[in-house]
Amino acid sequence: MSASRIAVYPGSFDPITNGHVDILQRSLEMFDRVVVAIAENVRKAPLFTVEERKQHILDSVGGNARVEVDAFEGLLIEYVQRRGAKTVVRGLRALADFEYEFQLAHMNRRLGKGIDTIFLMTSEKDFYVSSSLVKEVAQFGGDVTGLVPVGVQRALEDRYRRNA
C-alpha cells in the first residue's frame, strides 16, 4: 500500500479568489490530499479573520473531504515537514510572481531536503486577479462577480458596507 500523497497549498487567502480555487481543484487531481495552509502574517492586517478565511475556503470547495484547511505561523518548510508533506503547491500569475516564488522555492528546498515546490499557472481568465485587487475593487463598490466564490462576494459586500 502506497503512502498518501499530501501537498500543502500556502497563502494568505484574504480572500480566496476563483484563481485560488482553480489551483486547488487542479492540485486535487495530482494529490490524495491538499492542506490549504493560511499563513498568519504578522506584517499584514487582514480583512478577514483566520476563522472567516477557513470557512470561505471550505465553502468554496463544497466540503471536499480531501481538502483540509489549517493555519500556521513561522517557516512554511517547518509546517510542511510537520504535516508529512513532500510538496508545496504555488500558483503563478505572471513573470513577476515567478521571480519571487523561484527564490522561495529554492530557500525551502535548502531548508527542507526532499521538499519540492510545484508551480501551476493560473488560468487565463484569472491571471490578472489577486486578493489585494479584489479587496480594492470591492472597497469602492465595484463588482467582483466571477472573481471570487459567491459566499466571498457576499462577505466582501457585508464587510465594506459595515465599514462605510
Which residues are designated catalytic? 20, 44, 93, 131
**Under a CB-based contact definition with an 8 Å cutoff, are residues 87 and 8 in contact?**
yes
CA distance 14 to 30: 25
Q: Is the dihedral of CA 145, 151, 152, 156 positive or negative?
A: positive
Task: With H, G, I as helix, E, B as strand and everything else as coil, classify residue 39.
Answer: strand
CA distance 104 to 163: 35
The distance of Cα 96 from the centroid of its chain, to the nearest Å, equals: 18
**Under a CB-based contact definition with an 8 Å cutoff, are residues 13 and 131 in contact?**
yes
